[in-house]
Amino acid sequence: MTAVSSPEIDALASQLGGARHDAYSQRALARASEEYLSRRRPPLAEFALTVDGKEYPNLFAAVADPSAKFETGEVRLDPIPAPGPPWRFLLPFERLVFAPDGSVDVHPLEPGPPVRGIARVVVREHYLLRSQADEERAAKGGARVELRGLGGTMSRALAACREEALIPFGVAVLVYVPEERFRYEFDVLHSTLLPDPRAGRLSPGQRVRRSARLAWALDQYVVRSDLSLLGVRCLEVLVESPGLTSIELAHVFGGVRELVDSALQGLVQHRLVTFDRRTGVYRPRLDAFLPTADAPSARPDPTPAGGDPALRTSVQELLAAADSRSTCPLCGAPLPAGPKSILCESCSAQVGAA
């Protein structure tokens, strides 16, 4: 496994940032990359990258090549790992093939046809090139830098790195299939696929499968939010659980429990999770991510004000789950988003005719 060298990182920064990558920026970039490496997890597999039919040694080389547009691409695991426990919480694959329309074919490890899904990319950990003059202007109340390209197709993510002078460290590929969403995280400094942080640290029985629609709403919220990285990671795990304690989350992410406690309190203040003081359990507020028209909070609260907070959270979760996974009780077909009838259109017509 060959890591991207410091000179390669610095060369790309100079290409993207120009005069912004001064001595101050060079020192800050070195600190940021060292901090990322200190938190690096053992990889699941190495990958090879092909962009627009051309193979690149790493993502940095693709970003540096102005002819690379990532209209098509492939992430191929090489060597192909064996299936097993390290793949928990993920759909095991040998390669991801990206199409110009933003779709992706997930070629599974086990024999079988590829799984078609929609792929979106989040430049999860990165360094935004800023000169000393940029920092001084910000300290005096200058305009905040808005990062526009942190979530989108592969092509948009690549363009964002160039246009906004972003040096990527970690990239998440979000694959939406009909029933759920899978999150693949890549360490692009070492060209490796990382295991889900829950693998080996949280029982699969503590995972609640969420619909692709709800996962999309969560991912869009995360991209637009200013939550810390640890806060985002805690929120993502909580949303896919029935509720967890800070001790369980600290075990998942490692490090100091006080940092996890602080991140969780921030999520409570943002009204994204609730905290049950009797049990120490944090539970997600799923209605916080749904569009206003679909959110259960737009309806009268079925529990009295001042009632049991755990019960109130459970009702909200049931309503949100019902909205995102409703099916026809006769034929089992999914009901469309928005206002729900009891039966699908086809069964309603048949019942009416009878």
Instruction: Of 49-53, 134-138, 197-201, 226-230, give the lowest mean pLDDT range.
Output: 134-138
Which range among 15-24, 95-104, 337-346 shows the weakest confidence by mean pLDDT? 337-346
Provide the pLDDT confidence category of residue 331 given band limits of 50, 70 and 90: low
Domains in the chain: ranges and CATH? 1-196 (no CATH), 203-345 (1.10.10.10)
pLDDT over 70 (residue 97): yes
Angle between helices 257-269 and 246-253 (to 10 degrees): 120
7: Cα separation from own chain's centroid: 29
Token pair, residue 136, equals 């001084």
Give CA separation, 347 vs 106, 322, 336, 337, 352, in Å: 34, 19, 14, 17, 8
Rg (CA), the chain: 22
Sheet strands (E) in the chain = 45-51, 54-56, 73-77, 93-98, 103-108, 115-128, 151-152, 166-176, 181-187, 192-194, 244-245, 273-276, 281-284
Q: Would you state the pLDDT for residue 73?
A: 95
Q: Which two tokens stand for residue 181?
A: 């969403």
Among 230, 173, 190, CA closest to 42: 190
* Distance separating alpha carbons of residues 293 and 208, to the nearest angstrom: 24
DSSP-assigned beta bridge partners for residue 115: 106
Q: What is the mean pLDDT of the chain?
A: 84
267-302: per-residue pLDDT in tens?
A: 999 999 999 999 999 999 988 877 554 444 433 333
High-pLDDT (> 90) share of the chain, %: 60
Give residues with Cβ within 8 angstroms of 320, minimum separation 6.
214, 286, 287, 290, 295, 296
Place of tokens 């699908």: 344
Q: What's the pTM value of the predicted model, to 2 decimals?
A: 0.80
Q: Which residue has the tokens 């690379």?
A: 68
Contact 73, 154 (CB under 8 A): yes
Residue 196 CB: number of other CB atoms within 10 A?
Answer: 22
Q: Does the pLDDT of residue 46 top 50, yes or no?
A: yes
- DSSP H or E segment with residue 16: helix 6-17
